Amino acid sequence: MKLLTPRLKHFDNLQALADYVAQELVNTLEDDLLKMTTSERRQYSNEERAEMRRRLHDVKVFHHYAQAVPDLLKASEDFCACIDSTGGLTTDPEGYRVPNADPDWIDLGEAYQHMKRTLRTLSAHNPSTANTHTPAFHHSPRHNP
């Protein structure tokens, strides 16, 4: 399956964009928290400051997990390509979709189908490209299994 890669105009890749967005958000939240705990302290309650700390924590957690997305996509594509190269799926006598190479491995067939659906959904997603005639996505040879 060829994963479609978004056409970006400034950033080299999605990871660079995600890093930038997350870092900008972290910087903004840190600046806001600094103001909330110093010069503007009287304008905010302890609960509002605690909420900002929780928000900042969650953005940092998100950024950590987002860094793994390119590798997870590649691993998913590789997994699907491996199943495809051994004959894909077949239907066993009980109606389960199972790997052709190992019909006893029912949950592998289910995992394969889930990954394929997810990759298809992702590759079919085309965000709005308002005010531009440039396609939002193009095939990237880097992502071909």
What does the DSSP assignment read for 93-127? TTS-EEETT-TT-HHHHHHHHHHHHHHHHHHH---
Residues of the chain short of pLDDT 70, as ranges, are 1-5, 125-145
pLDDT at 3: 58
Q: What value does the mean pLDDT of the chain take? A: 82
How far out from the chain centre does Cα 134 lie? Answer: 23
Its pTM surpasses 0.85: no
Q: Which tens digits make up the pLDDT trace of 18-56?
A: 889 989 999 999 999 999 999 999 999 999 999 999 999
Backbone phi and psi for residue 49, each to the nearest 5 degrees, phi listed first:
-65, -40
3-class secondary-structure state, position 90: strand
How far, CA to CA in Å, does 126 sit from each of 11, 13, 18, 80, 135? 18, 16, 18, 22, 9
